[in-house]
């Protein structure tokens, strides 16, 4: 009998022997953090994550990277201004939506910090000895690129929320941080961009990566926001106005945004390449299905208000009493950019050649800026891709003009700069008079920015920094009665959930939490 018990005990014990092996299980389909960063390819794939964050973070939450830039970013932002309107809930300038519990505002806020944390982790690794296999030059270039993404994200935060939390190192689970003053945030942004100016290669834009010119252009945008006109002019003088400059005005306005000549266009300083993302997990969000969203679904449409901003071809403002006004086709005799940005209603013929435009948008203001003629008549389904231009030379020139004008006394230079844009081949708008006052020139620059940069995502920032948002919304309400704006809304509300979770944060003044 006894041997049986022994056998039994042996059998029971045998389970335990293989125990340690049995219980050590590691993920089978991913690399652990400890074993990553073995070669430059891996570094580049970590960098890819950062570039993927060069977006706006709308339309589906923080995980949708910038591949959706045109759809959810630049056009959407302009549709929160007097340029356009949108059919979905992200429009924060619609009455009642700019509240601390707004999910889109929260997503936008989160998206920026998610990108920043990724940048911080990356920079910290690049500064460690884990990547000793990199040459010093390429290591610095990687850091500069990460810092650019970080600066981009912080700028998105600070121009909307003002004082925001400033995190520049890797996060730990028990991280505690309150808001820093906007001045400190802006200083950190400038410092990141200065690193880029020093360490990014000076070439034209290619390979999808940031170049020296991009760091300068971004720095100008930030400096202009700070009303630091000297720095804007200084950037111009050090780079864009020198032989080092790699960029110029495109001889065809439409080429900048679409078509075969978009890639390698000399005007583009940075664009988010729209490859065919349909095979990725991004799904349809990524296909830059501009046609679908701008026209067919009526998600994004322009405003009459914006259409009317376009002058007649002789430079006179739009008015129905102007002799150049053509009652049968209001797009006739206008600034040529009008027909390049909006679809002439006359083309939306009764026979329905653009028949899938729903009645809500039909014969109003279809945004054509990102449509090719071959996209028409509008069809459902996949359309060829086009890149989302985030920084371009025309913007830089107008920023330079604005800074010059604000400094005063340089009318000729201001007018010359503006004329680089207005006089572009194919646009050929007459030059402004050099005898305009500073205020008149200011108005002219604002006008030029609006018509030149329509639906490129800069209008919201411009209206905020000029403090013109309220007036613009009053006008916009004529087209879209849901618009409203109060002065406290010059700052977006820190999301209610952020306040709930972080007791160090201050609520944004004016809002009901």
Partner 1 sequence: MKKALNQSLHKSHANVLLKVIGLSFLSFCTVAQGAIAKTEQNAASAIMQQAKGHTVTGSVKSESGEALIGVSVRVKGTSRGSITDVDGNFSIMNVSSNETLEISYVGYATMNVKAGNAPLNITLKENSQNLNEVVVVGYGTQKKVNLTGAISTTSGATLQKYTSPNSASALQGQLPGLQITQGSGQPGAESVNMQVRGFGSFGSSNTPLIVVDGIPTGTMPSVDNIESVTVLKDASSAAIYGSRAASGVILITTKRGQSGRANIDYNFNIAFNESTKIPDLITNAADYMTLYNQANDHSGITGRNYSQADIDKYRNNVGNPMYPNTDWMSLLFRTAISQTHSLTVSGGSDRTTYSFNFNYVDQPGVQVGYSFNRFTSQSNIETQINKKIKAGLNIAVNYGHRVSPGSEDSGQNSLFQQFMSQAPTFSPYLADGSGRYTENAFPTSEYNLKTNPMLTLDLSKKTYNSFYTQVNPYLQVQLTDWLSWDINGSFTYSFSKNKQFGFNANTYNFVTNVMSTNRSATTSKGLSVTDANSISPLLFSTLKFNKTFGDHSIGAMIGTQIEYSKSESLGAGRQLYTTADTQEINAGGSSSISNSGTASENSLLSYFGRINYNYKDKYLLEFNMRADASSRFAKDSRWGYFPSVSLGWRPFKETFIPKISWMDDLKLRASYGSLGNLGNSLYPYQSVMSTNGFYSYDGSTISSGMAVNGLVNKSISWEVTKVFDLGFDVTLLDNKFFLTFDYFNKKTTGILRKQQMIFESGYSSSSPYINSGAMQNTGFELSAEYRGKIDKVNFGVKWNIQTFKNKVTKFGNPEITSNGEAIPSIIEEGKPYGSFYLYDWDGIFQTQAEADASGQTNKPKAGDIRIKDHDGKAGISSEDKILVDGKFPKYSTGLTLSANWKGLDVTAFFYGTFGQKIFVYGSGYEPFFLQSIPTKEWLNAWTPENKSNTMPAVYDAQHYRSAFNTYPSTYNLKDNSFLRLKNLNIGWTFNMAKVTKNVLNSVRVYFAGENLFTITKFKGLDPERAGNGGYYVTYPQNRVYSLGLNVKF
Shortest distance, position 167 Cβ to partner 1, whole Å: 6
Residues 6+ apart with CB under 8 A from 132: none
Q: What is the DSSP letter of 334?
A: B
Q: What is the DSSP string of 464-490?
A: HHTT-HHHHHHHHTTT-TTB---GGGG
* Of 57 and 213, CB closest to partner 1: 57
Asked if 169 interacts with partner 1 (CB under 8 A), we say no
Asked if 39 interacts with partner 1 (CB under 8 A), we say no
77 in Cβ contact with 457 (< 8 Å)? yes
Give the footprint of partner 1 on residues 79-108 (CB under 8 A): 87, 89, 94-97, 99-103, 106
Shortest distance, position 110 Cβ to partner 1, whole Å: 5
Asked if 429 interacts with partner 1 (CB under 8 A), we say no
Intra-chain end-to-end CA distance of the chain, in Å: 78
Shortest distance, position 452 Cβ to partner 1, whole Å: 24
Half-sphere exposure of 218 (CA within 13 A, CB side): 31
* Of 24 and 412, CB closest to partner 1: 24
| Options 70, 83, 118, 457; binder of partner 1; rule CB under 8 A | 118
3-class SS letters over 427-462: CCCCCCCCCCCHHHHHHHHHHHHHHHCCCCCCHHHH
Asked if 133 interacts with partner 1 (CB under 8 A), we say no
Q: What is the DSSP letter of 179?
A: B
Asked if 26 interacts with partner 1 (CB under 8 A), we say yes
What is the dihedral angle through the alpha carbons of 108, 114, 116, 118, rounded to the nearest 10 degrees? -150
Asked if 490 interacts with partner 1 (CB under 8 A), we say no
Asked if 512 interacts with partner 1 (CB under 8 A), we say yes
How many residues form the binding site for partner 1 (CB under 8 A)? Answer: 109
Give the footprint of partner 1 on residues 204-243 (CB under 8 A): 207-209
Kindly report the number of other CB atoms within 10 A of residue 423's CB atom.
14
Asked if 11 interacts with partner 1 (CB under 8 A), we say yes
| Options 38, 227, 380, 467; binder of partner 1; rule CB under 8 A | 380
Residue with tokens 């306040």, as numbered in its chain: 499
| Options 3, 6, 10, 16; binder of partner 1; rule CB under 8 A | 16
Asked if 17 interacts with partner 1 (CB under 8 A), we say no
Give the footprint of partner 1 on residues 264-293 (CB under 8 A): 273-280, 282-284, 286
Asked if 32 interacts with partner 1 (CB under 8 A), we say yes
Kindly report the number of other CB atoms within 10 A of residue 132's CB atom.
7
Shortest distance, position 348 Cβ to partner 1, whole Å: 12
Residue with tokens 């059919």, as numbered in its chain: 87
Give the footprint of partner 1 on residues 291-330 (CB under 8 A): 297
| Options 3, 6, 10, 27; binder of partner 1; rule CB under 8 A | 27
491 in Cβ contact with 468 (< 8 Å)? no
Shortest distance, position 132 Cβ to partner 1, whole Å: 19
* Of 140 and 263, CB closest to partner 1: 263
Residue with tokens 């909307």, as numbered in its chain: 160
Asked if 121 interacts with partner 1 (CB under 8 A), we say yes
Residue with tokens 């850091």, as numbered in its chain: 143
Q: Helices 182-199 & 136-161, crossing angle to 10 degrees? A: 150
Q: Helices 438-452 & 393-407, crossing angle to 10 degrees? A: 170
Asked if 387 interacts with partner 1 (CB under 8 A), we say yes
- Cα Rg for the chain, rounded, in angstroms? 26
Asked if 359 interacts with partner 1 (CB under 8 A), we say yes
Shortest distance, position 43 Cβ to partner 1, whole Å: 10
Asked if 50 interacts with partner 1 (CB under 8 A), we say yes
Cis peptide bond upstream of 377, omega within 30: yes
Stretch that binds partner 1, among 75-83, 114-122, 310-318, 425-433 (CB under 8 A): 114-122
Stretch that binds partner 1, among 41-49, 191-199, 315-323, 328-336 (CB under 8 A): 41-49
Distance CA 420, CA 423 (A): 6
């Amino acid at each position: 009998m006894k041997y049986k018990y022994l056998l039994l005990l042996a059998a029971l014990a045998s389970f335990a022997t293989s125990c340690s092996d049995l219980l050590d299980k590691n993920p089978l389909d991913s690399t652990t953090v400890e074993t990553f960063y073995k070669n430059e390819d891996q570094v580049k794939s970590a960098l890819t994550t950062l570039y993927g964050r060069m977006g706006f973070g709308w339309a589906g939450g923080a995980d949708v990277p910038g591949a959706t830039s045109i759809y959810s970013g630049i056009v959407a932002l302009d549709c929160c201004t007097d340029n356009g309107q949108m059919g979905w809930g992200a429009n924060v300038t619609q009455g009642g939506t700019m509240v601390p519990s707004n999910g889109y505002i929260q997503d936008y806020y989160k998206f920026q910090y998610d990108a920043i944390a990724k940048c911080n982790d990356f920079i910290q690794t690049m500064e460690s000895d884990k990547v000793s296999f990199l040459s010093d030059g390429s290591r610095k270039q990687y850091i500069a690129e990460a810092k650019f993404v970080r600066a981009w994200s912080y700028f998105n935060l600070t121009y909307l929320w003002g004082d925001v939390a400033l995190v520049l190192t890797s996060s730990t689970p028990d991280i505690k941080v309150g808001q820093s003053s906007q001045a400190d945030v802006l200083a950190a942004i400038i410092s990141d961009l200065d690193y880029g100016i020093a360490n990014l290669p000076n070439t034209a834009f290619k390979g999808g990566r940031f170049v020296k010119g991009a760091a300068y252009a971004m720095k100008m945008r930030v400096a202009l926001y700070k009303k630091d006109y000297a720095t804007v002019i200084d950037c111009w003088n050090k780079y864009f106005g020198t032989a080092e400059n790699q960029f110029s005005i495109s001889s065809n306005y439409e080429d900048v945004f679409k078509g075969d000549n978009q890639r390698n266009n000399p005007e583009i300083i940075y664009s988010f390449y729209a490859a065919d993302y349909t095979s990725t997990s991004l799904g349809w969000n990524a296909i830059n299905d501009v046609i679908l969203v701008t026209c067919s679904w009526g998600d994004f449409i322009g405003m009459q208000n914006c259409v009317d901003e376009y002058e007649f071809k002789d430079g006179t403002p739009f008015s129905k009493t102007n002799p150049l006004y053509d009652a049968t086709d209001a797009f006739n005799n206008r600034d040529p950019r009008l027909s390049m940005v909006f679809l002439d209603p006359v083309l939306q013929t009764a026979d329905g050649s653009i028949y899938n435009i729903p009645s809500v948008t039909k014969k109003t203001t279809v945004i054509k800026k990102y449509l090719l003629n071959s996209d028409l008549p509008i069809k459902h389904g996949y359309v060829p891709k086009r890149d989302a231009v985030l920084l371009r030379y025309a913007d830089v020139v107008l920023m330079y003009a604005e800074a010059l004008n604000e400094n005063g006394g340089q009318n000729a230079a201001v007018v010359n700069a503006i004329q680089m844009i207005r006089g572009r081949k194919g646009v050929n708008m007459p030059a402004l008079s050099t005898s305009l006052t500073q205020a008149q020139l200011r108005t002219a620059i604002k006008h030029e920015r609006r018509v030149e940069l329509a639906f490129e995502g800069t209008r919201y920032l411009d209206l905020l920094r000029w403090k013109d948002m309220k007036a613009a919304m009053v006008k916009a309400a004529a087209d879209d009665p849901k618009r409203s704006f109060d002065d406290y809304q010059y700052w977006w509300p820190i999301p209610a959930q952020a306040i709930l979770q972080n007791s160090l944060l201050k609520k944004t003044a004016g809002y009901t939490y």
